[in-house]
Amino acid sequence: MFGTIARAVTARPLLVIIGWLLAAAAVIAFSPRIGEVTNADQAAFLPPASESARAGALAEVAFPGAQGASALIVVKRTDGAVLTGSDLAAVGRLATRLGALGRPTVRGVVFDPRALSPDQTLGLVNVGFSAPAEDDRVRDDVAALRAETSSTLAGGDLSAGMTGQAAVVADNKAAVTDAEKIVTVMTLALILLLLLAIFRSPLAAALPLVAVGVVYLVTSSLVALAATIFGFDVGQEVPTMLTVVLFGIGTDYVLFVLFRFRERLRVGDDPRAAIAGAVERVGEAIFSAASAVIAAFGALVLAALGFFTTLGPALAIGALVMMLAALTLVPAVVRRAPRRGGFAFLGRLVARRPAAVVAVTVVLLTGLGVGAALFRPAYDPIAQLPARTEASQAYQDLKRGFPAGALQPTEVYLTTVRPVMPGEVQAFIRRLAAVPGVASPQEPRATADGKVIVVPLVLELEPYSAAALDFVSGPLRDAARAAAPAGTSVLIGGQTMAFADVRDTTQRDLAVVFPVAGVLFLVILAALLRAVLTPVYLVAMVIGGFAATLGASVFVFQDGLSRSGLAFTIPIILYLFVTAIGTDYNILITARLREEVRDGRSVRDAAGLAVAHAGPAVAAAALILAGTFGSLLVTGVPFFVEIGFAVTTGILLVAFVISLLLVPATTALVGRAALWPGTKWPGTKPPSKAAPSPLPVDSDVAEAEARR
């Protein structure tokens, strides 16, 4: 099948290129932009049955228009002194001025001069919005309020900063947008430089990059189109993830083809026959690798958290389009071979000392994997903001004088089919106020018929901390239910409860998705290798690489940088990019090893040859992919920095430790049993005339290139 595709493509390369360009233009022209369907609110992706989602739905019906975003403007003197009477009057005038701006989503700006911090150094201006924080109009209004605040207080004794949900989302969106620009520029520059080093020709390096760029534009348009047709949002991280994934796996597949293209040229094929032969030889490995990636991404549809169920299909679409491009568009545009790297020495090491290689790599992976047990997930969106952002700095000021929970009060909803007496409500509030961890209740609100009552609670705990999530989903909920008047029911709402639900849903999703993905990997590997044992230990090695990568990240960020935890999405990101994409390298090495066995080599010699011949492609692809994710390290966004380090480390571990050392060394030790029952053994057919000579040295390669 792959030979037929290769010959058809190389016979009419210009027609293939024109077809791709026309199809890409049509998709892009009739699709919305992906930025139009993104959403920054993790809570928006919760299943409807979660408690916070039910509380939010109740609030929208009971208190229409009152469920928009909120923000706090924290005001202080520039000298840090106590706020004077004239200062308070100035803050009051500021609140009045902001309310009079007439911004479309601002429904109220309130300052209570009695609600100062205990040391009288901080005042709070409450801002209410009529739309969710993710609404573009709210972000525009946040910017307008900040600009007016800065202008009003300029040159005086007061300074102010806005924080709270609306401000956090606005700053997060701005930081992610800046990060996308940095990542795109650095990714393109890095890939171009590495391809220049490999191809030694600007045009030859640019053509694969252009091919991957076309795939990226098509994929992002298809994702946006699907989101529009089926009426769902995608997480705001998806565009950045698509960039690094497509340019990462895209260059992987390009290099898999091109290094095999180089081998075909070396044995005397003309360029057209060489590229056709390369696709025929490596096509099955690319198809299987892409299938593993698509299966891993696709398994996320089993998740309950909407962020995962939309992220997975989006990336799966990208992997599918990239696979099609690798088998059709890439052979049509490429006519220059890459340089060969010196991997013969590594192949000889694996073939001669497989037991030592296995021992050293297992010790390394085990040592790093210990840290995985210490992983603590973090759900704090403020901690994921760059420290310089206004929302983050204002929150630090807020915590100096107020309970941390003042940022985002937790809401307790009482619903009833009978009128609740005022005395019962007050008794309920008193019992809630007495719960350890509650700083103070706020003024309750009730519907006109008295059937829904909401009591906002300011917690003593930081609203997104693990302790706060435990508190609202445990002691507070239990106490509220116990204190509720007879005939009423209780729901806990607010951002803290929403992230407690996100945590529970995520843990459930990981417990479902990981085993399903493991089974899918086994099936795909078994279909490719026609073997029983090898897929089992390949999956085990992938799990080991995942644990080692997570452990290394824990050692760096939790232990080295003393962070309270890592972003809760890190395990799923590692699953997507280290486990799924890293499997590409294992497949390429193992497929090449099986091919060498079929050409008449012993299993041990085949292991060495697989490293010697496939090693350069794996190394180059891994360096490009690791470098692509490494660009996230300079974004300044903690979430992306953590992902950048974790995935870069994971890719390097999977490629250079597992794929190039542990996989072939283990196969060499296991011997024939590794490839049973679907592989013919040495001696059953003569070596192919096109098979490269065993374990070539770099001088042999140089001479062959010179002759060619």
Residue 686 has pLDDT above 60, yes or no: no
* Confidence at residue 204, expressed as pLDDT on a 0 to 100 scale: 67
Residue 341 has pLDDT above 70, yes or no: no
In a domain, 281, yes or no: no
> Percentage of residues in the chain with pLDDT exceeding 70?
93
CATH of the domain at 314: 1.20.1640
**SS3 call for 108:** strand
The verdict on 548 and 679 lying in the same domain is: yes
Per-residue pLDDT of 214-257, as tens digits, reads 888 898 899 889 888 887 777 777 787 787 778 778 878 888 88
The verdict on 610 and 522 lying in the same domain is: yes
Per-residue pLDDT of 390-406, as tens digits, reads 999 999 999 999 998 99
Per-residue pLDDT of 109-122, as tens digits, reads 999 998 899 999 99
The verdict on 464 and 540 lying in the same domain is: no
**SS3 call for 142:** helix
The verdict on 424 and 451 lying in the same domain is: yes
**What distances in angstroms separate CA 674 from CA 533, 598, 615, one per listed residue?**
6, 14, 20
The domain tally of the chain equals 3
What is the rounded average pLDDT of the residues 103-110? 94
**Could you identify the residue written with the tokens 């990462």?**
248
Asked whether 285 and 585 are in contact (CB, 8 A), the reply is no
**SS3 call for 137:** helix
**Residue 323: alpha-carbon gap to chain centroid:** 21
What is the value of pTM for the model shown?
Answer: 0.82
Query: Would you call 8 exposed, middle or buried from its count of C-beta atoms within 10 A (0-12, 13-18, 19+)?
Result: middle
The verdict on 474 and 543 lying in the same domain is: no
What is the rounded average pLDDT of the residues 385-392? 88
The verdict on 515 and 480 lying in the same domain is: no
End-to-end CA distance of the chain: 30
CATH of the domain at 443: 3.30.70.3400
* Region of poorest pLDDT, from 21-30, 377-386, 678-687: 678-687
* Confidence at residue 152, expressed as pLDDT on a 0 to 100 scale: 95
Per-residue pLDDT of 493-513, as tens digits, reads 999 999 999 999 999 988 998
In a domain, 391, yes or no: no
Interatomic CA distance for residues 507 and 503, integer angstroms: 6
What is the rounded average pLDDT of the residues 304-308? 80
Asked whether 530 and 678 are in contact (CB, 8 A), the reply is yes
Neighbours of 78 (CB within 10 A): 10
DSSP state of 102: -
In a domain, 67, yes or no: no
* Confidence at residue 132, expressed as pLDDT on a 0 to 100 scale: 87
Question: Bigger pLDDT: 150 or 639?
Answer: 150
Asked whether 618 and 699 are in contact (CB, 8 A), the reply is no
Alpha helices, DSSP H, located in 402-474: 422-433, 466-473
Asked whether 76 and 338 are in contact (CB, 8 A), the reply is no
**SS3 call for 164:** coil
- Token digits for 617? 């492609």
The verdict on 362 and 246 lying in the same domain is: no
The verdict on 489 and 566 lying in the same domain is: no
The verdict on 514 and 484 lying in the same domain is: no
The verdict on 438 and 581 lying in the same domain is: no
**Could you identify the residue written with the tokens 């008449």?**
600
The verdict on 434 and 547 lying in the same domain is: no
* Confidence at residue 707, expressed as pLDDT on a 0 to 100 scale: 38
In a domain, 310, yes or no: yes
Supply the range of the domain harboring residue 262.
1-61+201-276+302-338
Per-residue pLDDT of 436-482, as tens digits, reads 999 999 989 898 888 899 999 999 999 999 999 999 999 999 999 99
Average pLDDT score, the chain: 86
Per-residue pLDDT of 44-93, as tens digits, reads 678 888 999 999 999 988 888 667 889 999 999 999 999 999 999 999 99
Closest CA to 431 of 441, 446, 417, 422: 441
Per-residue pLDDT of 648-683, as tens digits, reads 999 999 999 999 999 999 999 999 888 888 766 655
In a domain, 584, yes or no: yes
In a domain, 628, yes or no: yes
What is the rounded average pLDDT of the residues 142-150? 96
In a domain, 538, yes or no: yes
